[in-house]
């Protein structure tokens, strides 16, 4: 199978190799270390990967260039023994692929999108990566400057140089390592300026990231504050203001502020039914007269459900009202109260439903329903139910038969007590 280098299967490892070369080669140049056995193997491996990229891709980033092509052969391994004076040039030639690191941004951005990270996460991650790379390069340059002054260039001095780079870019400057020559002082000025620019950019990205972590919640809180400000301006009692504030906070916690139908309409048709079923399947499959319904009908009904929030004590419907909706309890508790408004017939909680006779007959409610806590109910309106059934004639006949049986049973229950009365 031919590897497509635009695919992450190839692109990520390739960019990883370019990044490692951009880290290892400057350190090798700065320390002046002679070729080690591992370095020879590494140079050959890098050459093979660079050559593979060129052969499979047919070009380097935005066109093949002579500068990029010269990075393919392991020049130090091939010619270093015969041209020892050219070793540093050969090492610099390995860095010709460094501009390809710009492709890391698109990889990070795509991965952040796939993991549904906040919008500014890719910029924050890229800022940290670029900052570490710049610090490494500056530390290597500081080692070279010290070596030009006669200081020993070793791995230990690199650690000192990295330490100096960090404290200088952070504008801390403890004073234990200071520039001694004019060249070093000029270099230190540029490092300080680079540090100011980098940390300003990093802080800006972090602020954007923190601001985007919950942008929807921020907008919701601003809307609440706008309403509360209006209520206070109109001298509404504090108790009512508190109730309004509590209502909107519960609304947000249960995500009732989002219109499910509007959210679904933003999705492609192929995903609308799938998401709706995922959200509401457990509620619908508990309804007796829908247990034998085809999956297409369940999907269509799932898309018709609307979320509503009721406060403690709210009357959902009253006895004698015309039934126009069926209710599913997503979260909360509801009492079914007799027509006298006193006797509690049933107490329902999460996952249960009530008012199904409204879908079957559309007659008057025989009892009232009252929320006893903040309750999120999924509402299926009768007119939506009837329109959906028009597309499923067989299921419509079956449900009409169920409705007829329910009505007959209801009439018998109302007659039998009277006929048994001895008076």
CATH class for domain 260-416? Answer: mainly beta
Quote the mean pLDDT of the chain.
Answer: 77
Where helices occur in 149-257 by DSSP H, the ranges are 155-169, 182-212, 215-233, 238-253
Neighbours of 198 (CB within 10 A): 17
How far is 30 from 174, CA to CA, in rounded Å?
A: 24
Q: What is the pLDDT of residue 360?
A: 74
pLDDT confidence band for 333 (50 / 70 / 90):
very high
Structure tokens at 245: 């504030």
How far is 162 from 182, CA to CA, in rounded Å?
A: 20
SS3 content of the chain, % helix, strand, coil (to 5): 65, 10, 30
Residue 156 has pLDDT above 70, yes or no: no
How far is 334 from 196, CA to CA, in rounded Å?
A: 60
Residue 41 has pLDDT above 60, yes or no: yes
Which carries the bigger pLDDT value, residue 155 or residue 245? 245
Please compute the mean of the pLDDT values over residues 404-421 and round it to a whole number.
57
Residue 286 has pLDDT above 80, yes or no: no
Q: Could you read off the pLDDT of 222-237 as tens digits, one per residue?
A: 888 888 888 888 888 8
- Look at residues 361, 310, 320 and name the one whose alpha carbon lies nearest to residue 340: 320
> Domain residues of the chain, as ranges?
1-116, 215-253, 260-416
Please compute the mean of the pLDDT values over residues 179-192 and round it to a whole number.
84
| Beta pairing class for 325-331 and 353-354 | antiparallel
pLDDT confidence band for 413 (50 / 70 / 90):
low
Residue 252 has pLDDT above 50, yes or no: yes
Lowest average pLDDT, out of 45-49, 234-238, 304-308, goes to 45-49
Residue 28 has pLDDT above 60, yes or no: yes
How far is 151 from 139, CA to CA, in rounded Å?
A: 14
Lowest average pLDDT, out of 47-51, 55-59, 262-266, goes to 55-59
CB-count burial class (<10 Å; 0-12, 13-18, 19+) for 11: buried
Residue 219 has pLDDT above 80, yes or no: no
């Amino acid at each position: 199978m031919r590897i497509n280098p635009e695919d992450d299967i190839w692109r990520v490892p390739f960019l990883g190799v370019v990044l490692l070369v951009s880290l290892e080669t400057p350190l090798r140049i700065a320390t002046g270390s002679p070729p080690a056995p591992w370095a020879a193997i590494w140079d050959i491996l890098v050459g093979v990967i660079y050559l593979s990229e060129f052969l499979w891709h047919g070009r380097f980033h935005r066109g093949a260039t002579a500068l990029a092509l010269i990075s393919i052969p392991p020049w130090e391994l091939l010619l270093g023994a015969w041209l020892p004076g050219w070793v540093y040039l050969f090492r610099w030639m390995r860095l010709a692929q460094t501009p390809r690191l710009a492709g890391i941004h698109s990889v990070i951005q795509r991965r952040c999108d796939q993991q549904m990270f906040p919008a500014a996460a890719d910029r924050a991650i890229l800022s940290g990566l670029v900052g570490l790379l710049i610090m490494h390069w500056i530390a290597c340059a500081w080692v070279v400057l010290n070596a030009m002054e006669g200081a020993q260039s070793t791995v230990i001095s690199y650690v000192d140089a990295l330490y100096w780079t960090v404290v200088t870019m952070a504008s801390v400057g403890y004073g234990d390592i200071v520039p001694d020559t004019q060249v070093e002082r000029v270099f230190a000025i540029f490092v300080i300026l680079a540090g100011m620019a980098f940390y300003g950019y990093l802080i800006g990205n972090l602020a954007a990231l923190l601001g985007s972590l919950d942008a929807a919640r921020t907008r919701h809180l601003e809307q609440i504050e706008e309403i509360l400000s209006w209520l206070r301006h109109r001298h509404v009692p504090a108790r009512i203001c508190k109730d309004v504030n509590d209502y909107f906070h519960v609304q947000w916690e249960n995500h009732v502020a989002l219109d499910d139908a509007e959210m679904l309409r933003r999705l492609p048709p192929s995903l609308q039914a799938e998401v709706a079923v995922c959200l509401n399947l457990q509620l619908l499959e508990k309804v007796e007269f829908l247990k034998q319904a085809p999956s297409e009908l369940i999907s269509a009904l799932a898309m018709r459900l609307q979320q509503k929030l009721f406060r403690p004590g709210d009357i959902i419907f009253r006895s004698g009202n015309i039934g126009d909706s069926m209710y599913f309890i997503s979260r909360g508790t509801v009492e079914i109260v007799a027509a006298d408004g006193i006797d509690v017939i049933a107490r329902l909680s999460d996952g249960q439903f009530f008012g199904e006779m409204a879908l079957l007959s559309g007659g008057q409610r025989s009892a009232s329903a009252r929320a006893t806590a903040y309750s999120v109910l999924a509402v299926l309106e009768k007119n939506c139910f009837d329109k959906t059934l028009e597309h499923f004639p067989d299921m419509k006949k079956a449900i009409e038969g169920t409705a007829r049986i329910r009505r007959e049973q209801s009439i018998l229950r109302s007659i039998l007590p009277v006929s048994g009365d001895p008076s």
